Amino acid sequence: MILGPSGKNIYPEELESIINEFDTVRESVVYEHQKRLVALVHLDYEKLQKALHSLGETDIRTLINGMLSDLQQKINERVPLYSRIHKIIEQAEPFQKTPTQKIKRHLYVP
């Protein structure tokens, strides 16, 4: 649980479940950094490969940054003001997991 600036409780798992509903997202981790919410997002590169295969590296980066910005906007439209995501960071590699397939959050939260 994260205590928001207004004293409201923010549950990262709830935000992650919203983020993970999007087709282009495989999994995510939400945490607090400098009193703002940040989401690490591992994209579903297999689904994106069709759109990315003919693009150069610069164009791919531009497209992914645009997708992350669009994703942030769509998420923030669905959540209360106090639990809006300030920044989304692409996690290129899949998250490391425990034997029970839970993300090892401590490896990704500063």
Angstrom distance (rounded) from CA 110 to CA 11: 17
Domain coverage including residue 15: 2-107
pLDDT score at 17: 97
Global pTM reads 0.89
Query: pLDDT for 66-86, tens place per residue?
Result: 999 999 999 999 999 999 999
Angstrom distance (rounded) from CA 36 to CA 43: 22
Average pLDDT over residues 40-59: 81
Angstrom distance (rounded) from CA 57 to CA 53: 10
CATH value at residue 21 = 3.30.300.30
Q: Residue 55's CB: how many other CB atoms inside 10 A?
A: 12
pLDDT score at 48: 80
**The total number of structural domains that make up the chain:** 1
